[in-house]
Amino acid sequence: MSNQKNKAFASWDKFLNPVTLKQSLVEASVFLTAYEMFRQSVIDNLRSFYSDGFKDGKFTALGCEF
């Protein structure tokens, strides 16, 4: 049991280390930013591809706004 506790404490110590934590947060923020940019790019391109018009600042397709 002591070995499991030691592993758990070592894992938390590694996770909460300021250098490691900062690096993990930076990596997560870069990933989220890239994901949002990619998602927005894909959605906008699909909307413009399938749209048949533009009404009140929104794309329309077959009479539906999206």
Where b means 16+ CB within 10 Å and e means fewer, 17-53 reads eeeeeeeeeeeeeeeeeeeeeeeeeeeeeeeeeebee
Percent of the chain clearing pLDDT 70 (strictly above): 83
CA atoms of 57 and 66, how far apart (whole Å): 10
**For position 30, what pLDDT does the model report?**
97
Under DSSP, the state recorded for 47 is H
Residue type, 19: V
Helix axes 18-50, 2-15, angle to 10 degrees: 60
pLDDT digits (tens, 9 = 90+) for 23-48: 999 999 999 999 999 988 888 777 77
